[in-house]
Amino acid sequence: MPAKKVEARVEQLRRDLTEYARLYYHEGVSHVSDAEYDALYRELQALEAQHPELVDDASPTQRVGAPLPEGTSFDKVAHEVPMLSIDSLFTTEEVDDFVTSLGRFLKLEANELEAIAWSLEPKFDGVSASLLYVDGKLTRCVTRGDGAVGEDVTANLRTVRDLPLQLVGDAAPAVPALLEVRGEVLMRRDAFARLNERREERGETILANPRNATSGAVRRNDPAEVARYPLQFFPYGVARSEGAAFATHTETMEALHAWGFADSGLRRRVVGRDARIAYHDELEARRDDVPYDMDGVVAKIDDLALRERLGSRTRTLRWQYAHKFAALEAVSTLRAIEVQVGANGRLTPRAHLEPVDVGGVTVRHATLHNADHVANLGVRVGDRVFVYRAGDVIPQVEGVSRSAAGDAPKDWDASLPDSLKDTDGAVRTGVFHAWRAEFQMPSHCPACGTEAVAEGKFWRCPNRFGCPPQLVGRLEVLCGRGAFDIDRLGPKLIQQLIDAELVHSPADVFHLERDALVELDRWGAKSADNLMAQLEERRTIPFDRFLVALRIDEVGPSTAKLLAGAFGDLDGLRAATEEDFLAIDGIGEVAARKVSAWFDEPRNLELLERFAAGGVRVVPLERRAGGGVFEGLSVVVTGTLESYSRAEAKAIVEAQGGKVSSSVSAKTAFLVAGDKPGSKLKKAQELGVKVLDEEAFTAFVRGE
C-alpha cells in the first residue's frame, strides 16, 4: 500500500475506533460488533507495527505504556489552579445557612438569592484528578494530592477506557488550545464485585470497596495492571481554558461531553431552594439504583461570573457546597460467625450482627471473605465492629470499634438468632457463637461432614457430587442466564426439588416428570406444564453456554468462550491436553489444569451422558479463522520490547492468524524475546524453538 494510503488508513482507523469507543462508553450504543471492533483494532496495530513513524500517543493502541522501574515513585506536580476542598453540610438547616451567607456576601435580597440557578450533580466517591489537554491531546494527568501538589499518573489514567486521549475536533465549540479538566476516577459497584470475584479466585487480597480499589489502581507502577481495573472518569469542571469561553457551568459540561467526555446523566440545573433539597432527597432515595458509590450532592452556582465575584476562602470555594447523605457505615455487635458452603465448595465465614441501620437499610449479615481476613481484622465474637455497606455490594466488616471484655451478657446464649439453630434448637455445625470466641476454619464441611482441603488462602469441601449446598449452587448456575436460562426454576424451587429427591445432579433437571412435579406443594398442573415447556425449549444450547452450565472450576463465561472458540465442540475439548489449553492466550496454568482434571473424573463423564440422555443438544461453534504470516503457528512473547507492548505484539500475531500461548512447548513455532526474557528463553533453546528478537519479529511481520 502506498505511504499516503497507509497514513490515510491509519487516521481513518483511529477516528473510527475513537468514535465507536465514545458511543459505546458514553452513549451505550454499539455501532459495530465486538468482532468488527477487534478486527479494526488489530488492523491498526499491525499498520503501526509496520510503520512505527506513524505511531501517535493519541492512538487507541497506545493506552497502555511501560511500567515504572522498580522502586520509582511518581513525579510531584504543582497544580496551576489549586484543587480546593468542598464545604460538607449534613442538614437542610446547614444548607440554608450556607446559601444565606452567600446572599449577605453578594448583598442580595431574598428573592434575588432564590432566583440564582444552581448546577447539581452526585458527589461520587472516587479519586479526584486533573487532566491537561494541549491542542486537544491528553498530555498530563495529576492526582489531587494535598490540593496544591499532586502526583503525575498520566500513564495509568491513559488506560481508562472512557477517557479521551484526543478530544473530538469537529464538535462545537472548537477544542481550545489548552484545557484543564477536573473530574473523578471511579468504578461501578457491579464491576468492582466482579473484580473481587476474580481476585478471590486467584487467591489475591479482597479489596474493601470501589473507592479503595480505585485509589490503589491509580497509584500502581505498571499501567498494564491498571488496565485490568474497570476504571471510569466523569468530569466535574474546568480549571483552565485557553480558546473557549463559557457563561455557565452547564455550558461547560455540555462542551466537555461534546469533546468526548462521559456524562453520568445525573447532573441537573435548578432554581430555588426547594428544587435543590428535592434533588438531594431524590438522589439519596435512588442511591442503591445508581451503579456508583456516592455520598452526597454537590451544588454549584451555575453562573461563572457570579462565581468570580464569590471567589474562595483559604481551603474552600464559596460558590459550591456538598450536601451529604446519611452515612453508609455503622457500628454493631458481632453475634456469631457462621461458615457457609458455596456453589464451588468454598467455605466462607459470614458475620451475624445485631441488626443495625446502615444508610437506611437494616443489616444483619456481612461477609468476612476468608480465615486470613478474619485474622487480619482481629475480630472476636462479641466485639463492636464497623459495618460498611455500599449499594449492591454485600455489607462487610471493616474493623473493630471496641473489643469484647469481661463476662458475657446474661442473655447472650438465649438471644442467639434462630436462623443459626436447627429445628431441634441446637446450634448448627460451623457456627462460632461463644462470647469472645476466636474464629478458626473447621476441619470438616459443616454441610456434609467431608474433610476440608486447603487451597491457598481458602478452604474447600471436595465433595462436589454429594454436598447439598454445592448441588444447589451448581443448579443455580445451570438455570442462570449465562447457561440454560431456565427462569422458572429459582433457588427455592431448586431446593424443593432436591428435598423431594427429584434431582441428584444438575442433569436431572432434564429428566423431571410432569406427574411428579404436580404432587409437590404449591405446584399445579399449569406450573408443571410451563416448566416442562421451557425445559423443552432450552434443551438446545450453544457450546460456550453449556460449558458455563457445567460449573467447571476456573471456567466462567469469558474462559468458556475461549475454549469453545478454540475447540469447536465437546469432542474436541475432551480430546485436548493440558498443553493444548495452555496454548490458548488467556488460559493460565490453573485453568488448564482444572479443565483437564474435570474430564479425567469418571463422574463428570457420567454427567455428560446424563445430559445427552435427557435430550440436551450442544450446538458446536466454528473454530477461529486464521490468516497472515503467523497462520496456524503458536507464538510465545516474553521480555520487554522497545517498539511494542507485549499486548500489542500479541495482537499483531493474532491479526496475522497466529495463536499466542503463555508457555513454551514443543508445539511453539516462535518465541518473541525482548529484554530480560527469563526462563522461557532457556526452555525455547532446550526445545529447539526458533527465537525472534524484536528486529526479526518486525521483519517477519512485514514479510521480509
Q: What is the pLDDT of residues 124-162, one digit of tens each?
A: 989 999 999 999 999 999 999 888 899 999 999 999 988
Q: What is the pLDDT of residues 77-104, one digit of tens each?
A: 999 999 998 998 989 999 999 999 999 9
445 is in an annotated binding site: yes
Q: Is the pLDDT of residue 70 over 60?
A: no
82 upstream amide cis, omega within 30 of 0 = no
132's CB contacts (< 8 A; 6+ apart) are: 138, 139, 140, 141, 142, 178, 179, 180
272 and 222 together in one domain:
yes
Q: What is the CATH number of the domain that holds 21?
A: 1.10.287.610
Q: What is the pLDDT of residues 235-287, one digit of tens each?
A: 999 999 998 889 999 999 999 999 999 999 999 999 999 999 999 999 998 98
Q: Nearest Cα to 293, choosing from 88, 126, 85, 90? A: 126
Average pLDDT, the chain: 88
210 and 349 together in one domain:
no
336 and 420 together in one domain:
yes
Which of 107, 123, 492, 526 is labelled catalytic? Answer: 123
614 and 651 together in one domain:
no
34 is in an annotated binding site: yes
The whole domain housing 519 covers 468-538
Q: What is the CATH number of the domain that holds 570?
A: 1.10.150.20
128 and 188 together in one domain:
yes
Query: H or E segment at 371?
Result: helix 371-377
Q: Is residue 591 part of a domain?
A: yes
Q: What is the CATH number of the domain that holds 126?
A: 3.30.470.30
Q: What is the pLDDT of residues 603-617, one digit of tens each?
A: 999 999 999 999 999
Please say which residue of 278, 298, 324 terminates a domain.
324
Taking a C-beta distance cutoff of 8 angstroms, is the pair 127, 214 a contact? yes
Confidence class of residue 462 from pLDDT cuts 50, 70 and 90?
very high
Q: Nearest Cα to 385, choosing from 368, 371, 398? A: 398
Q: Is residue 96 part of a domain?
A: yes
pTM assigned to the model = 0.55
Instruction: Give the pLDDT confidence score for residue 115 in this predicted structure.
Output: 96
Please say which residue of 309, 324, 339 terminates a domain.
324
Q: Is residue 103 part of a domain?
A: yes
- For residue 608 the three cell numbers come to 455428560
Q: Is the pLDDT of residue 322 over 90?
A: yes
182 and 274 together in one domain:
yes
Q: Is residue 127 part of a domain?
A: yes
37 is in an annotated binding site: yes
Q: Is residue 71 part of a domain?
A: no
Q: Is residue 76 part of a domain?
A: no
What is the pLDDT averaged over residues 371-387? 93
Helix, strand or coil for residue 1?
coil
Please say which residue of 398, 427, 460 terminates a domain.
460
Helix, strand, coil in percent for the chain, rounding step 5: 40, 25, 40
Beta bridge partners of 387: 330, 397
Q: Is residue 90 part of a domain?
A: yes
Q: What is the CATH number of the domain that holds 371?
A: 2.40.50.140
More confident residue, 597 or 648: 597
245 and 272 together in one domain:
yes
32 and 133 together in one domain:
no
Q: Is the pLDDT of residue 316 over 60?
A: yes
More confident residue, 388 or 185: 185
Instruction: Give the pLDDT confidence score for residue 463 in this predicted structure.
Output: 94
**Active site includes 123?**
yes
Q: Is residue 174 part of a domain?
A: yes
Torsion of CA 92, 98, 99, 104, to 10 degrees: 140
Q: How far apart are CA 633 and CA 648, in angstroms?
A: 17
Confidence class of residue 512 from pLDDT cuts 50, 70 and 90?
very high
Q: For a pLDDT cut of 90, what percent of the chain falls above it?
A: 53
511 and 492 together in one domain:
yes
Total domains present in the chain = 6
294 and 340 together in one domain:
no
Instruction: Give the pLDDT confidence score for residue 436 in this predicted structure.
Output: 96
Q: What is the pLDDT of residues 548-601, one digit of tens each?
A: 999 998 888 878 888 888 888 899 999 999 988 888 877 888 889 999 999 999
Sign of dihedral through CA atoms 291, 292, 293, 297? negative
161 is in an annotated binding site: no
479 is in an annotated binding site: no
Q: For a pLDDT cut of 70, what percent of the chain falls above it?
A: 93
250 and 396 together in one domain:
no
- For residue 97 the three cell numbers come to 445557612
504 and 425 together in one domain:
no
Query: H or E segment at 363?
Result: strand 361-367
Taking a C-beta distance cutoff of 8 angstroms, is the pair 165, 134 a contact? no
